[in-house]
């Protein structure tokens, strides 16, 4: 890995960490000269040959991620990272890994590719660690049923899944398993 790749990955990771630390806040991913943001860049700093992944509805992206991250492809039920295109898992979210009481960190991380993210008065209301009072998040391009599923999957904290939302403009927002989700 060259120095530019290392700097890119570290910078990306810091933005993701900010997003996980402050649920509902929208952060812009860095864009490096000659490159544009993508889910490959985002997952490139999180995944390696020790983790597994699955992609819903995009076989081409599966191939690209396998090449760029050296991670192994598997089923959604067994994957450490799941990429969701078109804003829906089609009800499969309840089947994803949630971790165990001994190792809650083994729950899956879901990356939703959505149209747009923004802070809004109406929308998803988040509370919990990292949120002062409540935070409001608008997600365009996410199936409304996904929020209910995410709430149910994360109802037995520390078990659950972490969610990262990436929009077409290179913005991210996160909803970690510790967040409580409401809809306004």
Q: Which residue from 141, 1, 172, 163 is spatially nearest to 82, judged by alpha carbons?
A: 163
Q: Is the pLDDT confidence value at 33 over 80?
A: no
pLDDT (tens digit, 9 = 90+) per residue, 66-123?
998 999 999 999 999 999 998 999 999 999 999 999 999 999 999 999 999 998 777 8
Q: Are 40 and 65 in contact (CB under 8 A)?
A: yes
Q: Is the pLDDT confidence value at 35 over 60?
A: no
Which ranges of 22-172 does DSSP label H, i.e. alpha helix? Answer: 39-44, 59-69, 144-153
CATH number for region 3-182: 3.40.50.11310
Q: Which residue from 94, 138, 149, 90 is spatially nearest to 114, judged by alpha carbons?
A: 138
The token pair at 124 is 């998803």
pLDDT (tens digit, 9 = 90+) per residue, 112-171?
999 999 987 778 999 999 999 999 999 999 998 999 999 999 999 999 999 999 999 999
Neighbours of 154 (CB within 10 A): 24
> pTM for the full model?
0.94
């Amino acid at each position: 890995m060259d120095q530019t790749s290392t700097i890119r990955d570290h910078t990306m990771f810091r933005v993701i960490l900010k997003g996980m630390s402050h649920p509902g806040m929208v952060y812009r991913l860095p864009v490096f000269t000659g490159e544009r943001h993508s889910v490959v860049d985002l997952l490139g700093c999180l995944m390696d040959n020790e983790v597994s992944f699955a992609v819903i509805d995009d076989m081409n992206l599966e191939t690209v991620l396998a090449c760029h991250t050296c991670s192994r492809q598997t089923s959604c039920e067994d994957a450490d990272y799941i990429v969701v295109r078109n804003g829906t898992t089609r009800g499969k979210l309840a089947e994803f890994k949630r971790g165990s009481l001994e190792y809650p960190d083994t729950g899956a991380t879901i990356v939703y590719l959505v149209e747009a993210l923004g802070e809004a008065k109406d929308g998803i209301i988040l509370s919990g660690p990292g949120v002062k009072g409540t935070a409001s998040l608008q997600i365009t391009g996410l199936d409304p049923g996904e929020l209910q599923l995410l709430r149910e999957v994360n109802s037995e904290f520390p078990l659950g899944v972490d969610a990262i939302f990436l929009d077409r403009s290179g913005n991210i927002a996160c909803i970690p398993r510790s967040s409580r989700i409401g809809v306004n």
